[in-house]
Amino acid sequence: MAWVYLAIATVFEIAFALCANASQGFTRLGYSILTLVIGAGGTFFLSMALISIDVGVGYAIWTGLGSVGIVLLGTVLFKERLDWRKLLGIATVIVGVVGLELSGSA
């Protein structure tokens, strides 16, 4: 169940970053409130996952997959450029996440 909690926390992490961007520096009240609520939700599910997963592994996976998701969604939603360097970075993060998951921490 810990990995399910971590997956949910990762989705919250991606939504958090997108809402933080939409809040435009916390100048838009609705997105500002949503950013705080989603951030709290992500932290809650991360804390649930960390009951069974080592904190270093769980946090690294949460931030790594969150970063990959945000880069990919930034490309789709905001027409941000996805070049070979970003793809190499994404591949590196994914290899790292797989390696951490295979470490048998849960």
* pLDDT, tens only, 35-68: 999 999 999 999 999 999 999 899 999 999 999 9
Ordered alpha helix ranges (H), 1-54: 2-22, 29-49
- Evaluate if residue 104 carries a pLDDT over 80: no
Of 36, 39, 32, 30, the C-alpha closest to 12 is 39
Share of the chain above pLDDT 70, in %: 97
By percentage, how much of the chain surpasses pLDDT 90? 87
Asked whether residue 86 is assigned to any structural domain, the reply reads: yes
pLDDT value for 27:
97
Q: Work out how many domains the chain is built from and give that number.
A: 1
Longest Cα pair distance anywhere in the chain, in angstroms? Answer: 43
Residue range(s) defining the domain that contains residue 73: 2-101
Q: Is 106 within a domain? A: no
**Which range (1-5, 36-40, 61-65, 101-105) has the least confidence?**
101-105
Average pLDDT, the chain: 93
pTM for the whole thing? 0.87
Number of other CB atoms surrounding residue 70 within 10 Å? 19
pLDDT of residue 2: 94
Residue 30 falls within a domain, yes or no? yes
